[in-house]
Structure 1
């Protein structure tokens, strides 16, 4: 479970994430982003030799008047323009400045921390030709919680996240704004307060910082954590919905799922089966099968659950890559020009993830519809109202909340249009095929937010439905598993039975926050995997 903190710097762990010492995981990036871990640079001799060799090789080429893209030439379509050696050291500064045209909302401090950590991970692969002062400055920013204020819009996701990452590069040379101690400050004012000075970017360093996939990959790391948790919370909500609807628990039978062996789908069915404790209600009808939003929930949630290993592998491969251009092989003394800045893999993951996540919103919207309607909810009050008999005429329960769920679900589903298919030729047709990975990642985060809103509303509703069954004597609390009992007890404490109509906005916002902080340790074995 993650915890929000007031002064994040005070909570930095003495155990640091070591960059340059092997692969970095999604979980480590998120821990750095959420202030749980500090960062450090490896003292491994091989890593240090890579950094030193890259710097020495670039210096050697400059002395020999060698031609290096983005070092002794202009950028992009201007690669044929040779830059005089007398101006080579000014070139990185101009790169940061002319890309300072981002618009839209700003990334949050947490997202900014993830971006810094992700870029540091790429640069410490040792193939970017960057120097120790740059790497140390990035590390100091993370450990001191000095976070560039980065606009969200302006990247097409190929040639890297140039415009947003220019705000990282600019902060290193003492320009633009940062988040610091809960305020927006000029970096030039903050640096001396921490005993730091702006660095002078060496040739290639501006390009090394900006010409990569750090923004989309950082957002993908944050998205992965939220999507993974939603698979577990969606399973719990489905179990509670089945209890509230007096559903047929045999829909989640172990033998039934053994004949369709998708691992994630079976895992979800197992969780729901365990939560239900294979509890059977006396049935008042001959209907053997629940509606699809209950019966097929493992198949719907399981799509995302089964995709998570591929998502994780792909995100972590991108995270642990040198993804700028050109690649500097200092030890082999080669400059390799390529296109590792292309964000196609992250774009595909984010487009796929947002579709699978939006389907969870749609699933719970349908479950809500069943719970509200007396034609389908097997004897629950209309709109799940807990009003007394004499007050039922003027009370409306979760009627408006269900309308909200439909609105949030519709917006989430609308955003599933893949961003990666909207490539645009730009920059004098040099960047003539681009990934749109950063737009896909931003879309995915929005879909996650909308789905978490639906999930919060659904959780309020299903716990109300179960409580009504208990109050009506149709379900005994002692028949529920210990985990279910504990969760319902906390929910009832925080969100009492809705009897008289009351505004639920505050409750919904509070519950969304608890979900995003992963308040409940669900199916601990999965959480520890």
Structure 2
């Protein structure tokens, strides 16, 4: 069981909870910190002090004093009025991440919320009761107000959840699990919704998918190198040490390892002097993507353990400070960076697809067709890859450079980080399909070259691929092959296929 403290949650731990059904609990020290900050809120209410969000309205209504007899009603009205998200729900795994991250942030002890409410959040995680949260409607400051309000609705028994494969009312799920909804007290509604957990949750899930995809892209491109009799000299260690980027050096090393016993690669001058950039520059381009992903990982792990609501309570209530930690700019930048980095993985992959199917660029059958002219082969698969790459270019436009004033100009600069995170997730889905197309074409190319000559690592990958995508012996509905290959990549456990990646990941985390 994972113990949350509000201080040390990692992406690997998030992965265990989201994908391996790891259960969670709060440390007693973090609960004690939450209790102390709650006592401070109760003193403020009893003494009728003027403190934003506790005894006042919100946003432009921050100067409106609320009578202490109405503090519960204030919190309930806040949740109901702010729950106006629209569009399709976030994927269930993202919504679950949102709940976990909100609980972790509240355990830091700066938010003035009762441990009971945090316990209810942990119940949602442990019992797989996942809030239905619309994706659209957040400006990314003051935090993810609309999405988190839909999360909070579930806690008070007014929202909807995904539960055991169905979409039901939260009350129905609670009754089946013996859980009671909570009645929000002073500040608790604000503490639940004033944060960056929607953009961060989507960012966490997107990063975990992007990391896996980046490793897979190296395997797929290695198989492409074999299919095109690529020149291995360009991956020599001294070339990459001479430039000095660790991620570039590591990418080249992994590809050398994958192809170490291949009989399909060539040396410079053997067939040609040099390869095109989409092959020769794989370590430089993919390595740069890893640099961006490393940056994203660092920012996510900070934000996952950050207090991002407002106001924050310090020194046992002696200081209650209204600040701006809810502003999502750091994550907005990180999401935009990830968008560009992953889009480039697709961009260079599409160029390798072109080299695999274009008879003017290789000595393989045109379009890898089993019967030229009568059978079109992979011709239109490249069209699809080109379309997805072009769509990615539109989605990669930075969301973080936009801002629209809100709340009567009180909130006059916002991050749009949640839009950035949603677009990053879509780019990753598109990129996975582009790489799936490259995988299909590369498998067909190595068949023409001779599967028995493949490296042992790429041959294992090829064998897995052939379980879901048969050899192209005649034209068929390739849409199904693309989706099957993409789903294979999404669910593939690369560590089981390549145990050496464990050592790579450990090195990357140093």
Tell whether the structures are fold-level matches, with TM greater than 0.5. Answer: yes
Asked if structure 2 preserves the Cα contact closer than 8 Å seen for 1:129 and 1:330, the reply is no
Q: Deviation per CA, 1:281-311, whole angstroms, max 9, x where unpaired?
A: 4889874111111111111111111223222
Residue number in structure 1 paired with 2:345: 360
Residue number in structure 1 paired with 2:113: 130
Distance 2:145 2:489 in 1: 33
Distance 1:407 1:18 in 2: 45
Q: Deviation per CA, 1:130-189, whole angstroms, max 9, x where unpaired?
A: 101101100111111111100000000011000000011111111021111111101122
Q: Tell me the secondary structure at the aligned position of residue 13 of structure 2.
A: helix
Cα gap change, 1:127/1:284 in structure 2, threshold over 3 Å: closer, same or farther? Answer: closer
Q: Deviation per CA, 1:231-253, whole angstroms, max 9, x where unpaired?
A: 21111122111111111111111
Residue number in structure 2 paired with 1:427: 407
Which of the two has greater helix per residue? 2
Residue number in structure 2 paired with 1:464: 444
Q: Deviation per CA, 1:359-406, whole angstroms, max 9, x where unpaired?
A: 0111010000111111102x1001112x2xxx4331111111111101
Q: 432, 445, 448: which one pairs with 1:452?
A: 432
Alpha-carbon distance, 1:29 to partner: 1.9
Distance 2:317 2:189 in 1: 23
Distance 1:254 1:285 in 2: 20
Distance 1:187 1:223 in 2: 27
Distance 2:112 2:106 in 1: 8
Q: Tell me the secondary structure at the aligned position of residue 259 of structure 1.
A: helix
Q: Tell me the secondary structure at the aligned position of residue 229 of structure 2.
A: coil
Q: Tell me the secondary structure at the aligned position of residue 326 of structure 2.
A: coil
Between stretches 324-333 and 296-305, larger displacement belongs to 324-333
Between stretches 434-443 and 298-307, larger displacement belongs to 298-307
Q: Mapping of 1:164-313 within 5 angstroms? A: 164-277=147-260, 280-281=265-266, 287-313=272-298
Between stretches 331-340 and 151-160, larger displacement belongs to 331-340
Q: Does 1:343 align with 2:321?
A: no
Q: 285, 307, 312: which one pairs with 1:322?
A: 307
Q: Deviation per CA, 1:452-476, whole angstroms, max 9, x where unpaired?
A: 1101111111111111111xxxxx6
Please tell me the root mean square deviation across aligned C-alpha atoms, in Å.
Answer: 1.7
Q: Does 1:114 align with 2:114?
A: no
Distance 1:56 1:520 in 2: 48
Distance 1:218 1:498 in 2: 40
Asked if structure 2 preserves the Cα contact closer than 8 Å seen for 1:157 and 1:342, the reply is yes
Asked if structure 1 preserves the Cα contact closer than 8 Å seen for 2:85 and 2:136, the reply is yes
Distance 1:366 1:234 in 2: 13
TM-score (norm 2): 0.95
Structure 1: gaps (5+ residues): 1-15, 471-475
Distance 1:146 1:68 in 2: 34
Residue number in structure 2 paired with 1:516: 490
Q: Deviation per CA, 1:314-346, whole angstroms, max 9, x where unpaired?
A: 111111011100001253532111000000110
Q: 5, 21, 25: which one pairs with 2:10?
A: 25
TM-score (norm 1): 0.92
Residue number in structure 1 paired with 2:21: 36
Residue number in structure 1 paired with 2:366: 382
Asked if structure 2 preserves the Cα contact closer than 8 Å seen for 1:99 and 1:163, the reply is yes
Alpha-carbon distance, 1:518 to partner: 3.2
Asked if structure 2 preserves the Cα contact closer than 8 Å seen for 1:50 and 1:330, the reply is no
For these two proteins, the number of residue pairs brought into alignment is 501
Asked if structure 1 preserves the Cα contact closer than 8 Å seen for 2:6 and 2:105, the reply is no
Distance 1:301 1:281 in 2: 21
